[in-house]
Amino acid sequence: MGAALTEPTDPNESPAVEPPDRSAPAQPATGAAARRAPRTPGDEVVPAVRLRGASLGFGERTLWEGLDLDIAPGEFVAVLGPNGSGKTSLLKVLLGQLALRAGTAEVAGAPARTGNADIGYIPQQKTIDAGVQLRGIDLVGLGVDGHRWGLGLRGRGERARRVAEAIAAVGAERYAHAPLELMSGGEQQRLRVAQALVGDPEVLLCDEPLLSLDLANQRLVAELIDRRRRSHGTAVVFVTHEINPILPLVDRVLYLVNGAFRVGTPDEVMTSEVLSELYRTEVDVLRVRGRLVVVGTGDSLDALGSAGAEHCHGEEPQSGVHA
Amino acid sequence: MDKLADVLGSMFDFATTANLLGYDFVQQALLAAALLGLLAGAIGPLIISRQMSFAVHGTSELSLTGAAAALLAGIGVGFGAIVGSVVAAVLFGLLGTRARERDSVIAVVLSFGLGLSVLFLWLGPERAGSKFSLLTGQVVSVGNSGLAMLTAGTVIVLAVLAVIYRPLLFASADPEVALARGVPVRALAVVFAVLLGITAAFGVQIVGALLVLAVLITPAAAAAQLTADPVRSTVLAVVFAELAAVGGILLSLAPGVPVSTFVTTISFLIYLVCRVVGARRRKAGRARTATARPTPG
C-alpha cells in the first residue's frame, strides 16, 4: 500500500518531528480550544471577558471607573442601570469600538478589538428597517461570512449547512425563507439569535434584545440564549433595562449608576440597601409574585413589575408606583 | 397630435429599424445601453437597500454641474460629469446610512449645484450643443472613445463591486451588526458612493440627468417587489434595466423620438407589473406566515 511508503515521515508516528516545546508548560489556550480541551487540574480557565481597572468617560464625564470583572465561559451576566449609565458603551468597549480611558478589556484571552470572531452580537429588534429586502436565511448567512471580501462563491454548500443548522437551533425553519419585513418582531429576533450564534462565538453580547417584544416572545428569545450558553459554554453579557424576563437565568448582575457600580448575584445586588447606596436616594426593591419591582429610582428602570415602564404608558398607573 | 400618431405608426416599422441597425453609431448606442443596463442592474438593489434613491437623483443632477464646469474650463464634458457626480456621491455617502439625516441635505446641495451649473453654462461658450443633451441624454453620440471609456468604467465598477459585495450588503442591510463584526461601514459607504457616482455619470450621458433614476432605481425597485433574495433581485434588476435601456433605444429608432421617452416608459411599465404581482404574492405570504406562527404561551 502507498501509505506504507510515507510512514517514516508521518508526524504522528515519528518522534523526530514532534515539536520540541511539547513538554513545556501549556500556553493558556484561547478561543474555542479553551472550552473544548479537557482541563487538567491546575489549568486556569481563560475568562470569556476580563476587565481590569477599566474606566470609561467622555470629556469631563466619567461613566464608570475601576471596573474589575471576570466573566467565565457559560456565565450569564445582566448589565443594568439607568439610561446614560454606560451599559451600551460597555458593549462597545468589548466590540473594540470604544477605547477605555484606563485599564484593560479582554475577550477570550485577547485584547478587545473590532471584527472579533469570538463575539456574537444581538441588537435591538427595531434595527431592521422596514424597507430592507432580505430573507431570514440571508440575515443569518451574513452572520457566517458577511464580513468577508469577495462574492463567496466557494464554500456555498458549507455555508448553507451552517445557516440551516443555526436556524434549526432557534426553531425558525418555517419562516426563514420569507422576507424579513413580513415577520413579527419575535420571529426577527429569533433569527438575530441564529445570526449571532452561527459563528459559534465565545461571548454573546446582547443590547436590549427583548425590547419591544411581547412577553411570550421575550421568554422564547431569552430561553434560546440560555440554552446556548448551557450547551456550548457561551458567555452572555446582556444589557437590559428590565431584569424580570431574564431573572431566573441570570448568574450575576452588573449594576451601573452614575459612575458607581456593583457586581454580584441578583440576590446580592437587587436589594433596597445596595440600590439605595448606588442611587444615593431611598430605593425600595420589592418581590411581587416572583418579579422584582424597583421603586424610587426616578428613571425608566423604575417599576419593572409593570413589564417595563418605558413602553407601557397608559396601561399601568405610573404615578402610583413612583411614590 | 399628428406627430404622436406618426410615432405610434412608425414604432413598429421594423424595416426602418433594421435599416438603422446597420449603422455604426446605432450599434455603439445599443452597446452603451447594454453596458449601462448591466451596471445599473448590479448596483441598483444596493442603492435601494441603502435608501439612496434621492441621492442618485442628486448625484446625476450634480454631474451636470461638473459637466458645465468642464465645458467652461475647456476640459472633456464626460470627464467633468464623472468628477461632478463622484464628488456629489461621496458627499452624500458621508452623510450616513440613515435616509432621514440625508434627505434635506441632498436637497440643499442639489439646488446650489444646479444654480452653479446655470452660471457655468451662462459663462460658457455660446455654441454648446451638449447643454441640453446632458439633461435628456444623447446616446447616439457616444462614439468609439466614449464606448471605450464606458467599457473600462463598467469593468472597474463591477470588479470593485464583486470584491466588496458581501460586506457592502451586510453594511447596507444590517449596519449595526456589520459594525460589530468589524465591517468598515463608513469606508464602504465612500467606496460605494464613488461607484455610484461613476455609474450615474455614465447614465447621464446615455439617458440624461433627468432620467437616470429610470435605469438605476426603477428596475431595482421592480425587482424588490418580486423577491427578497439578494442574488435573485440583482439578476432581475439587470434583466429589467437591459429591457428598458436596450429596448428603449430599439423602439426609438424608427420614430426618431428621444430615447428617454421609451426608456422611462418601459421601466415604468415593468415596475407597475411587478408591483401588482408583488402585492399579490405578499398577501399570500402573509397568510402563510400567519398560520405558521406559533401560538403564544
Task: Give me the pLDDT at residue A177, please.
Answer: 93
Task: Give me the pLDDT at residue B149, please.
Answer: 87
ipTM: 0.84
Pairing of strands A235-239, A76-80: parallel
C-beta atoms surrounding A252 within 10 Å: 18
**B-interface mutation test, from A88, A132, A221, most B Cβ less than 10 A away:** A132
Chain B residues with at least one Cβ partner in A under 8 Å:
45, 48-49, 51, 162-167, 169-170, 173-174, 176-183, 224, 227-230, 233, 282, 285-286, 288-289, 292-293, 296-297
Task: Give me the pLDDT at residue B40, please.
Answer: 95
Residue A320 has pLDDT above 70, yes or no: no
Residue B282 has pLDDT above 90, yes or no: no
Task: Give me the pLDDT at residue A3, please.
Answer: 38
Residue A269 has pLDDT above 90, yes or no: yes
Chain A closest CA to B168's CA: distance in Å? Answer: 8
Q: Which of A138, A183, A187 sits opposite B230 (nearest CB)?
A: A138
Distance of alpha carbon A40 from alpha carbon A44, whole angstroms? 9
* Average pLDDT taken over every residue of chain B: 84
Q: What is the pLDDT of residues A176-216, one digit of tens each?
A: 999 888 888 889 999 999 999 999 999 999 999 998 888 88
Q: Do A139 and B292 touch (CB under 8 A)?
A: no
Q: What is the mean pLDDT of residues B270-281?
A: 93
Q: What is the mean pLDDT of residues B236-255?
A: 92
Q: Do A134 and B49 touch (CB under 8 A)?
A: yes
Distance of alpha carbon A195 from alpha carbon A215, whole angstroms? 22
Residue A214 at interface with chain B, using a CB cutoff of 8 Å: yes
Residue A125 has pLDDT above 90, yes or no: no
Q: Do B182 and A214 touch (CB under 8 A)?
A: no
Task: Give me the pLDDT at residue B181, please.
Answer: 92
- Asked whether the beta carbons of B213 and B219 are under 8 A apart, the reply is no
Residue B5 has pLDDT above 90, yes or no: no
Task: Give me the pLDDT at residue B235, please.
Answer: 97
Q: What is the pLDDT of residues A7-23, one digit of tens each?
A: 344 444 344 333 334 33
Confidence of residue B153 (pLDDT cuts 50, 70, 90): very high
Q: What is the pLDDT of residues A45-90, one digit of tens each?
A: 899 999 999 999 988 888 999 999 999 999 999 999 988 889 999 9
Q: Do B233 and A133 touch (CB under 8 A)?
A: yes
Q: Which of B51, B293, B296 sits opposite A131 (nearest CB)?
A: B51
**B-interface mutation test, from A121, A133, A177, most B Cβ less than 10 A away:** A133
Q: Do A182 and B297 touch (CB under 8 A)?
A: no
Task: Give me the pLDDT at residue A109, please.
Answer: 92
Confidence of residue A318 (pLDDT cuts 50, 70, 90): very low
Q: Which of B166, B229, B289 sits opposite A182 (nearest CB)?
A: B289
Residue A195 at interface with chain B, using a CB cutoff of 8 Å: yes
From B184, which residue of chain A is nearest by alpha-carbon distance?
Answer: A147
Q: Do B166 and A96 touch (CB under 8 A)?
A: no
Residue A40 has pLDDT above 60, yes or no: no
Residue B295 has pLDDT above 50, yes or no: no
Q: What is the mean pLDDT of residues B32-61?
A: 91
Task: Give me the pLDDT at residue B136, please.
Answer: 63
Q: Do B166 and A147 touch (CB under 8 A)?
A: yes
Task: Give me the pLDDT at residue B80, please.
Answer: 87
How many C-alpha atoms does B286 have within 13 Å on its Cβ side?
A: 8
Chain A closest CA to B288's CA: distance in Å? Answer: 9
Residues of chain A with C-beta less than 8 angstroms from the C-beta of B176: 123, 127
Task: Give me the pLDDT at residue B99, please.
Answer: 62
Q: Do A148 and B166 touch (CB under 8 A)?
A: yes
CB within 8 Å of B201: residues ≥ 6 apart: B60, B63, B66, B78, B81, B82, B84, B85, B86
Q: What is the mean pLDDT of residues B1-11?
A: 72
More confident residue, A155 or B287: A155
Q: What is the mean pLDDT of residues B234-255?
A: 92
Cell of A286: 420589592
Rank A102-106, B127-131, B136-140 by mean pLDDT and report only the highest. A102-106
Q: What is the pLDDT of residues B92-116, one digit of tens each?
A: 877 765 666 778 888 888 899 989 9
Residue A136 at interface with chain B, using a CB cutoff of 8 Å: no
Task: Give me the pLDDT at residue B219, please.
Answer: 96
C-beta atoms surrounding A217 within 10 Å: 22
Secondary structure (3-state) at A113: coil
Burial (CB < 10 A; 0-12, 13-18, 19+), residue A35, is buried
Q: Do B170 and A147 touch (CB under 8 A)?
A: yes
Residue A249 has pLDDT above 80, yes or no: yes
The pLDDT > 90 percentage for chain A reads 52
The pLDDT > 70 percentage for chain B reads 87
From B221, which residue of chain A is nearest by alpha-carbon distance?
Answer: A133
Confidence of residue A24 (pLDDT cuts 50, 70, 90): very low
